[in-house]
């Protein structure tokens, strides 16, 4: 039978009873120290964004004068304040991924985007299913609809 460490639970309850807001989740991945200066850094993949808990934690840290950053492989280090003002827009799908989901070739999808091809009814139904939007109402704006998914 595993031993459960009750001390953290007891302390959290005690602190909350004393009026403290207690954080256990949302801490940045790294605390980097150089020349005595601190940086809290959360590393994210290109498609990922901060969770609500991470945003709240980093807001508390920055409000208390501690520098926080979000790092993306393709963007590098971004100051948390800049992240809040200009969040990373995730790319939802590549053309190949979207074409595969719809069940057409990337070349055919590219033809639709360049107004060289017009999707038929069956394809329109597949697009409806994938996008959750009524393709028949969107038909004049198919290029816009597909670009929203890319």
Q: Where are the domains of the chain?
A: 25-85, 95-149
Neighbours of 26 (CB within 10 A): 18
Provide the sign of the torsion angle of the four alpha carbons 97, 103, 105, 108, taken in this order.
negative
- Residues listed for the chain: 150
pLDDT tens for the 150 residues of the chain, in order: 677 789 989 999 999 999 999 988 899 999 999 999 999 999 998 778 898 899 999 999 999 999 999 998 888 999 999 888 875 555 566 777 778 888 888 888 878 777 788 777 788 777 777 766 665 555 556 656 666 665
Cβ 127 vs Cβ 139: under 8 Å: no
Query: For residues 33 and 38, what is the distance between their CA atoms, to the nearest angstrom?
Result: 5
- Measured in degrees and rounded to the nearest 5, phi and psi for residue 82 equal -70, -35
Topology given in CATH for the domain delimited by 25-85: Trna Endonuclease; Chain: A, domain 1 (3.40.1350)
In the DSSP assignment, the letter for residue 116 is S
């Amino acid at each position: 039978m595993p031993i459960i460490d009750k001390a953290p639970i007891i302390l959290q309850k005690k602190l909350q009873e004393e009026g403290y807001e207690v954080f256990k989740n949302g801490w940045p991945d790294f605390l980097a120290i150089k020349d005595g200066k601190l940086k809290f850094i959360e590393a994210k993949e290109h498609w990922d964004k901060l969770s609500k808990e991470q945003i709240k934690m980093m807001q508390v840290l920055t409000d208390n004068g501690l520098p926080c950053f979000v790092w993306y492989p393709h963007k590098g280090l971004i100051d948390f304040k800049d992240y809040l003002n200009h969040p990373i827009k995730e790319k939802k799908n590549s053309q190949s991924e979207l074409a595969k989901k719809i069940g057409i070739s990337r070349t055919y999808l590219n033809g639709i985007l360049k107004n060289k091809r017009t999707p038929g009814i069956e394809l329109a139904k597949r697009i409806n299913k994938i996008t959750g939007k009524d393709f028949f109402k969107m038909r004049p704006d198919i290029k816009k609809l597909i670009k929203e998914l890319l």
